[in-house]
Structure 1
Amino acid sequence: MYCRYDFEERPSPRNRSHQIVRWLGVTALAFVAFAWPHSDAREGGKANRLRVALPVNEVRALWVVRNTLTSPEKIHNMVERASAAGFNTLIVQVRGRGDAYYKSRWEPRAIELKDQPKDFDPLALTLAEAHGRGLKVHAWLNTSLLANLDALPADPNHVYNRHPEWLAVPRAVASELFSMSPGDALYRQRIVEWSKANRGELEGVYTGPANSKVREHIYRIWMDIIQKYPVDGMHFDYVRFASPDFDYSRTSLKAFRKWLEPQLSKSEQTALKQALKQNPLAATEKYTAKFGDFQRAQVTTLVERIYHAVKRRRPDVIVSAAVFANDENAFTRRFQDWRRWLRMDILDVACPMAYTPDTTIFQKQIEVATSTAHAAGRRVWAGIGAYRIPAESAVEKINTARTIGADGIILFSYDFTTTTSTLNPQGDYLERVRRAAFASPVPTPK
């Protein structure tokens, strides 16, 4: 089962000044209704009389994983259940692992759709069903995550097979692979073997954002969707590097050297040239901080280009991104400078994946995101890890996000909340959230 998580949930030291003060702008919110949340979401539970205000146009969203898009029946049921539970926005995964759950010009149809007729278009059907019920639909695309380690793509047209030179390379095998042809079967094998040995931090095989051809490919995918489908929004995920161990591919190393050299003196350039003859990683080892700056710049370049292209074609479309809620982790370990994106006006909505079960940590993470976004005139939808917590805890976090002044919430995920489990024994998670947090309706978000 696809899993989303944040590796380090503790607040970063550089944001403690933000974390001790709640977002002051909450007092300026316009309110249209009040919810009376329950301390016990079951029928007959004791009511908690804390009054929590609802912001105008509150986004009540669900991340919908691609498994739910594999048949018309699943899509119909998903839209029906989401609507009945009071949600108004669906963020549906249409690019999961370098494949397509829509009619794509650039990538192969998902293998999970093999039993469906060729004319079955999951995104088109979701849009028709959801719009018919007044729900917004955002197309969710995984950016860098390309393939599952235990189910590598067989399709020769898949990027994994067609462009092995686009794969992100971990530092541990970079020297070995630097002089090897990416077309050599051993090239991919070594990447996969290392990744399997480091599953604790990796979810699969990734592409490298420092490769300009990778960025162009992602750009084309976005433009393909925005020009074909009446989506209400487009959603980045995995718009980052996999971990601090990436990307040390030949393409990335050469791009870094080209980016770095104008910043060096003549003597430094000469010394680096000599060092690189002995060690292809010499530049990254000597200029570690600059390599981090370079990596962040590559991701930001991608986000900026896509954002402006979307707005030129469809100014009404919302561009959002799922980001690491611990911004220090995002900045230093994923090279994902999402706070800068908000300040640069190249992201409409930040969606911090604040999946911690601890509501105090959740509060601090959403405070940092909300203060950053609102100062820049942008928005925040608080990501809640429903798969890790009971419905009562999700309701507590929804109300915490409202108190802070977040513009909406997103539960991860629809798929978990409708499946029976230890945390969801009756499979009625959405209904329990509706009763406790969504009893008062809100308008369809703009």
Structure 2
Amino acid sequence: MALPAARQSWRDRTLHGREATRIHDGDSLARHWRGVHRYSRPTLLIVALACATTLMVNAAPEERRARTAAHSTVPREVRALWVTRTSLVSPADVARVVRDAQRYGFNTLLVQVRGRGDAYFNESIEPRAESLAAQPTAFDPLEELIAAAHPLGLEVHAWISVNLAASATTLPTSRTHVVHAHPEWLMVPRALVATLGPIDPHRPEYVQRLAQWTRAHNRTVEGLFVSPIPVAAAAYTSEVVADLVRRYAVDGVHLDYIRYPNAEFDYSPAALDAFRAEMLPTLETETRTRLDTRREVAATAYADAFPDRWAAFRRARLTSLVEQLAGSVRTLRPNVLVSAAVIPDPREASDHRLQEWTVWLASGLVNVVCPMMYTSSAQRFAAQADLIREAAGAAVWAGIGAWQLSPAETVRRIDAARARRFAGVALFSYDSLAARRQAFLATVDRQAFQAATGGAPGSR
């Protein structure tokens, strides 16, 4: 439910399935999870608002977890269900999600309340989702879902698409949307450096050409991404998340699409300028002069001259964004859990998406990772699970691509996750199961959830 709080701030079916074709196995050495500690770099505004709201907002999740602990000395297995924004567009949809989750044995809902730089909750910094246009403005999907879920013992985690900000097929209509308000923050592929470099980002053709290129490459690039590199862009995203956590009694924040589309991004003018500024103090005058001369005809001069540092710079800026987001959450409500949906293979994630999630976990920036293990092969799933166990330990919710599996195959994936002592599982997704949803979830509940607890339907 929404919580009364001070409000000061600026006023997005998903493409997870596509990841299945780009996630590979690999041999990779990664750091083990070494526990959790808190990171925060709060702004003065966040600190001031936190003092007024933290105790009130924290109460419900803490009490619920305390009741769980009192009845069992064994940590509760997380049985999560991803719920995309298409199931949040009416009160009836929201009620159905909660009813089915409770009926079929789930205890955690990962609810997509920021799909593409928009909001499925009220009075957000960002524009209200266009798919809610048919509903009264008083309809607040997140508030209604929390109000229905919490009395049933269901946790609600706000699923945030972090860097993916818009579809390239249908651009947002609101002029306050980040894509239109701050096109200078959008990631640019290397292939468009020469084309977009001379164009003012605020001219309409800048976004139009970027969207046109993205549509032509939609098998590998999901949409328009906001870069983690500009300081103002990171601050904006952090405030979006802080505003949500400040006002709603969510149990967790689930970070998704917190990555680069691939290693050919971000070559925007802002990103290239930031890298140059970071490199200058480390260079001899002669080197600076030579590179600046080269930069007059090739904007990528510094990135080309120092490819390893360029990759490390982009990884570090993404990690810094994770740190800012987690810090904003924990400053306001220290007990809210922070999770991240990640590419399963740590090497693939680091090299090709510049997503160093093993560092995030080892440093305590996130409490748990949710590797998107979307494969129809049981052998491949097992290999991925072994790799992830080595890299992350138990702080894992195994992401299972249920839409492409039978109920029996899904149960076997859950068993494989349990065999590796992962903290839980997450099924993708409630929406993608479509017409077979009821029978599918009933079978999973009976064969995986009830079988593990010896309980009645829906027992946790």
The 1-side partners of 2:278 and 2:244 are apart by 32
Following the alignment from structure 1 to structure 2, what is the Cα–Cα distance between the partners of residues 379 and 285? 37
Give the partner amino acid of 1:182. P
Does 1:431 find its partner at 2:442?
Answer: yes
The Cα offsets for residues 343-367 of structure 1, whole Å up to 9 and x where unpaired, read as 1111101000010111222122223
Local SS of the residue matching 2:109: strand
Q: Does 1:389 align with 2:405?
A: yes
Aligned residue among 16, 19, 22 for 1:8: 22
**In 2: Cα distance, 1:364 partner to 1:254 partner:** 41
> Which residue of 388, 396, 401 maps to 1:369?
388
Q: Go from structure 1 to structure 2 and tell me whether the alpha carbon gap of 1:202 and 1:394 turns closer, same or farther (over 3 Å shift).
A: same
Q: Is the 8 A contact 2:188 2:265 kept in 1?
A: yes
Residues 205-216 of structure 1 mapped to structure 2, 5 A cutoff = 205-216=224-235
Deviation at 1:107, TM superposition (A): 0.3
**Which runs of 5 or more structure 2 residues have no equivalent in the other structure?**
1-12, 34-72
Distance of 1:299 and 1:216 partners within structure 2: 13
Indicate the RMSD between aligned Cα atoms, in angstroms.
Answer: 2.4
Q: Distance in 1 between matches of 2:289 and 2:133?
A: 56
Do the aligned residues in 2 keep the contact of 1:9 with 1:361 (CA within 8 Å)?
Answer: no
Q: Does 1:296 align with 2:315?
A: yes
- Is the Cα contact below 8 Å between 2:30 and 2:346 reproduced in 1? no
Contact 2:146 2:249 in 1 (8 A): yes
1:405 aligned onto 2:421: yes
Structure 1 residues 140-176: Cα deviation after superposition (integer angstroms, max 9, x where no partner): 0101111112211111111112211121111111122
CA drift of 1:7 comes to 4.0
2:269 aligned to 226, 232, 250, which one? 250
CA distance in 1, matches of 2:102, 2:155: 11
> Hey, what's the Cα distance between the residues in 2 that align with 1:390 and 1:369?
24
Normalised TM-score (structure 1): 0.86
**SS, match of residue 435 in structure 1:** helix
| Structure 2 partner of 1:35 | none
Q: 1:6 to 1:152 in 2, by over 3 A?
A: same
Q: What is the CA–CA distance in structure 2 between the aligned matches of 1:369 and 1:309, rounded to whole Å?
A: 28
Q: Is the 8 A contact 2:120 2:140 kept in 1?
A: yes
Give the conservation status (yes or no) of the 8 Å contact 1:104–1:224: no
Deviations 1:396-444 (A, max 9, x none): 1100000011100000001122x12xxx4x7521111111101144999
Task: Show the 5 A alignment for 1:310-321.
Answer: 310-321=329-340
State how far apart, in whole Å, the 2-side matches of 1:164 and 1:238 are.
19
Question: Which residue matches 2:62?
Answer: none
Report the residue type matching 2:274 in the other structure: A
Q: Which residue of 2 aligns with 1:51?
A: none
Quote the residue 1:140 is aligned against: 159
Q: How far apart are 1:277 and its partner, in Å?
A: 1.7
Distance (whole Å) between structure 2 residues aligned to residue 329 and residue 6 of structure 1 = 13
Query: Which residues of structure 1 form unaligned runs of 5+?
Result: 24-53
Partner Cα distance (1:350, 1:104) in 2: 29
Query: Residue 403 of structure 2 contacts residue 429 of structure 2 at CA under 8 Å; is this kept in 1?
Result: yes
Following the alignment from structure 2 to structure 1, what is the Cα–Cα distance between the partners of residues 383 and 134? 46
For 1:28, the equivalent position in structure 2 comes to none
Equivalent of 1:86 in 105, 120, 125: 105
SS in 1 for 2:293: helix
Which runs of 4 or more aligned residues in structure 1 lie more than 6 Å from their structure 2 counterparts after TM superposition?
442-446
Q: How does 1:146-225 map to 2 (within 5 A)?
A: 146-225=165-244
Task: Return the alpha-carbon distance in structure 2 between the equivalents of residues 316 and 105 of structure 1.
Answer: 23
The alignment's TM-score, normalised by the length of structure 2, stands at 0.84
Judging changes above 3 Å, is the alpha-carbon distance between structure 1 residues 13 and 259 closer, same or farther for their aligned structure 2 residues? same
Letter of the 2:447 partner, please give it: A
The AA in structure 2 aligned to 1:255 is A
CA contact (8 A) 1:325 1:354 kept: yes
Q: CA deviation at 1:262?
A: 2.6
- Secondary structure at 1:415 match in 2: coil
**Structure with the bigger percentage of helix:** 2
Question: Following TM superposition, by how much is the alpha carbon of 1:55 offset from its aligned partner in structure 2, in angstroms?
Answer: 6.5
Give the drift of 1:371: 3.2
Which of 342, 349, 353 is residue 330 of structure 1 equivalent to?
349
Secondary structure, aligned partner of 1:406: coil
**Contact 1:321-1:350 within 8 A present in 2 as well:** yes
In structure 1, what is the Cα distance between the partners aligned to 2:298 and 2:386? 44
In structure 1, the partner of 2:255 is 236
In the TM superposition, residue 370 of structure 1 has moved relative to its aligned partner by 2.9
Alignment partner of 2:392: what SS? helix
Distance 2:232 2:122 in 1: 22
Q: What is the distance in 2 between the residues matched to 1:330 and 1:281?
A: 23
Could you tell me whether the CA contact under 8 Å between 1:88 and 1:445 is conserved in 2?
no
State the distance in 1 between where 2:385 and 2:283 align.
40
Q: For residue 303 of structure 1, give the secondary structure of its aligned residue in structure 2.
A: helix
Please say if residues 24 and 348 of structure 2, whose CA atoms lie closer than 8 Å, have aligned partners that are also in contact: no
Deviates more, 1:103-112 or 1:267-276: 267-276
* Counterpart in the other structure of 1:33: none
